[in-house]
Amino acid sequence: MALIRWEPFREIDTLQKEMNRLFDTLAPTSIGNGEKTGLSFIPAAELTETPEAVNLKLEIPGMEANDLNIEVTADSITVNGERKSETKTEEGGMTRTEFRYGKFHRQIPLPVRIDNSKASADYKDGILHITLPKAEEEKNKVVKVSINTPSGQ
């Protein structure tokens, strides 16, 4: 019987490769309609609420406003788009091209009902600002809270 030397770092390397392969297969590869997109780009979002409105800020650098699609319902907002960016530089007889492509789809549930007919959006310096005014019934909503007492007291 031959002795085989155990190399723990080789085992760790093999484990890392297997984990990378697993995460590559689990990465989001389609948007809501089933269209294949490869690795998805998911923009960072910040949602804040004031007494009058819900404000959403999305970080979407390298895109044009006409590449974005925003759909608002009374209780959620959906933002999707496609990033198409390519830079080409020529220096010292060499050409260098870098590109980034990818679709994204982000649907965010809203904490209150909003008046979607009055929603507005601004896009500047890669940041999308969306203002979603609250529905009138949400602004004036008063809820009566009943107090439960244990029976027999």
- Tell me the per-residue pLDDT of 79-97, one tens digit each, with 9 for 90 and over: 998 877 778 888 888 988 8
pLDDT at site 30:
46
CA atoms within 13 Å, Cβ hemisphere of 22:
6
SS3 81: strand
Q: Taking the alpha carbons of 101, 107, 111, 112 in that order, is the dihedral positive or negative?
A: positive
The pLDDT, as a whole number, for residue 121 is 93
H/E element holding 1? none
Tokens matching residue 153? 């007291």
Q: Considering the entire predicted model, what is its pTM?
A: 0.60
Burial of 144 (0-12, 13-18, 19+ CB in 10 A): exposed
Structure tokens at 1: 């019987």
Q: What span, in angstroms and rounded, lies between the C-alpha atoms of 67 and 70?
A: 10
How far is the C-alpha of 139 from the C-alpha of 115, rounded, in Å?
11
Over residues 112-123, the pLDDT tens digits come to 888 888 899 999
**pLDDT of 27-58, one tens digit each?**
555 444 444 444 557 888 999 999 899 999 99
* Structure token pair of residue 6: 């155990």
Q: What is the mean pLDDT of the chain?
A: 81
The residues pairing with 72 across neighbouring beta strands, listed in sequence order, are 77
Rounded Cα gap, residues 104 and 108, in angstroms? 13
